[in-house]
Amino acid sequence: MLGKKLVTAQKRGETRALCLGLGMVACSMMMYFFIGITIVPFYTNSVWTTETMCKVLKANIKDKVFCPNSEGSEAEEIFPYPCLQVWVNLTASGQEVMLYQTEDTLERNPKCSYVPDKLENSKEVKAQIETIASNFKKYQTFPCYYDPGGTQTNVILSRLYPSKGLLFAFLWPTLMFTGGCLIIVLVKISQYVSVLSAWQ
């Protein structure tokens, strides 16, 4: 009687462990799919792939411009901000080009090197942009990214999704997938050992 209870409990534990492993594998596949349709296209479509050194030539703050906070935004979401324009000397080609913060900055406003997030206080936005401009004047040389194919003549300061960021995004689903597969394998080994012991 006690042996039957132990066998039943063992089978229940194996079933729960097997469901846990399959659930982990399924969740990891969903995460892979989500990363594949969101982050990977941004990474593959970016033409600014080669890192080089940029030297600041001038960093000027122009008159205020208007920028929508997002695509399809309403009129009240359009806010004015000082337009910072940073021109650099590209070490790879020696050209004078305009610097943008990220790929998204160029899409949002190609006239400005930096597009701030929407803030209620306009003085805070102005102070933030002035600080960024002073930092560019202070640190004259820094790494940047350019398009080796020549499709884009401008450069960006940092990529939205660099290679390390993409690898880090794939790390967690990979660990979950590996853990799920390991649980399934261990359950199958346990079942095989149980059957082998019963047969002997």
What is the per-residue pLDDT across 32-62, written as a single tens digit (0 to 9) for each? Answer: 999 988 888 888 888 888 888 999 998 888 8
- Check the CA dihedral 127-129-135-140 and report its sign: negative
Asked whether residue 182 falls in the same domain as residue 120, the answer is: no
Asked whether residue 155 falls in the same domain as residue 195, the answer is: no
Asked whether residue 99 falls in the same domain as residue 60, the answer is: yes
147 is a domain residue = yes
Taking only the tens place, the pLDDT of each residue in 153-180 is 899 999 888 878 788 889 999 999 999 9
Length of the chain counted residue by residue = 200
Asked whether residue 172 falls in the same domain as residue 132, the answer is: no
Asked whether residue 135 falls in the same domain as residue 64, the answer is: yes
111 is a domain residue = yes
Asked whether residue 157 falls in the same domain as residue 175, the answer is: no
Over its C-alpha atoms, the chain yields an Rg (Å, rounded) of 27
Asked whether residue 116 falls in the same domain as residue 171, the answer is: no
Residue numbers of the domain that contains 157: 50-161
The number of domains in the chain is 2
> Band of the pLDDT at 200, cuts 50, 70, 90?
low
Q: Pairing state of beta strands 96-100 and 155-156?
A: parallel
Q: What is the Cα–Cα distance from 77 to 170, expressed in whole angstroms? A: 35
Asked whether residue 125 falls in the same domain as residue 176, the answer is: no
Asked whether residue 112 falls in the same domain as residue 175, the answer is: no
99 is a domain residue = yes
Asked whether residue 151 falls in the same domain as residue 183, the answer is: no
Q: What is the Cα–Cα distance from 60 to 116, expressed in whole angstroms? A: 16
CB distance 139 to 125 below 8 Å: no
Checking if the pLDDT of 83 tops 70, the result is yes
Strands (E), the chain: 50-68, 78-90, 96-100, 141-146, 155-156
21 is a domain residue = no
Asked whether residue 141 falls in the same domain as residue 171, the answer is: no
Q: Pairing state of beta strands 78-90 and 96-100?
A: antiparallel
DSSP secondary structure code for residue 98 in this structure: E
Asked whether residue 146 falls in the same domain as residue 170, the answer is: no
pTM score of the predicted model: 0.69
Q: Which residue matches tokens 């560019």?
A: 136
